[in-house]
Amino acid sequence: EAGVAQSPRYKIIEKRQSVAFWCNPISGHATLYWYQQILGQGPKLLIQFQNNGVVDDSQLPKDRFSAERLKGVDSTLKIQPAKLEDSAVYLCASSLGTGRTYEQYFGPGTRLTVT
């Protein structure tokens, strides 16, 4: 089966610019996650969707980050305006359902560099 797809794979922008990342989860997976992985650290959950509804966005910096999953399939994560500290790999993951028993499948990530 096809895995989680993400684009672009790499992005370089200047601070104060905006950027958007796209994710296509595994077909049939109801739950979609966005993680931020700063160099030298483990992934940190930013937001979790169940179908097209937000389950948890408590760690999303809402003053500059936004995410949507309008039709319950693809999702976009946006940063506007970007700061230097946003340089990281942004990972998308999906799972059949929500909760500890559902394995999360990760995409290849988008590496963002903010200069």
Partner 1 sequence: AQSVSQHNHHVILSEAASLELGCNYSYGGTVNLFWYVQYPGQHLQLLLKYFSGDPLVKGIKGFEAEFIKSKFSFNLRKPSVQWSDTAEYFCAGWNNAGNMLTFGGGTRLMVKP
Q: How many Å apart are CA 63 and CA 83, to the nearest integer?
A: 12
> Does residue 42 belong to the site contacting partner 1 (CB under 8 A)?
yes
Contact pick of 31, 36, 48, 94 for partner 1 (by CB under 8 A): 48
Q: What angle do CA 103, 112, 24 make, to 5 degrees?
A: 40
Q: Restricting to residues 53-72, name those near partner 1 by CB under 8 A.
A: 55-56, 58
Q: By CB under 8 A, is residue 28 in contact with partner 1?
A: no
If one asks whether residue 77 binds partner 1 (CB under 8 A), the answer comes out as: no
Residue from 16, 44, 62, 83 in contact with partner 1 (CB under 8 A) = 44
Among 14-22, 41-49, 62-70, 75-83, which window interacts with partner 1 (CB under 8 A)? 41-49
Question: Taking the C-alpha atoms of 73, 20, 45 and 30 in order, what is their torsion angle to the nearest 10 degrees?
Answer: 0
Residues 86, 90: Cα–Cα separation, whole Å: 10
Decide whether 77 or 82 has the Cβ nearer to partner 1: 77
CB of 59 to partner 1, least distance (A): 8
The residues binding partner 1 (CB under 8 A) are: 3-4, 40-45, 48, 55-56, 58, 91, 93, 98-101, 103-109
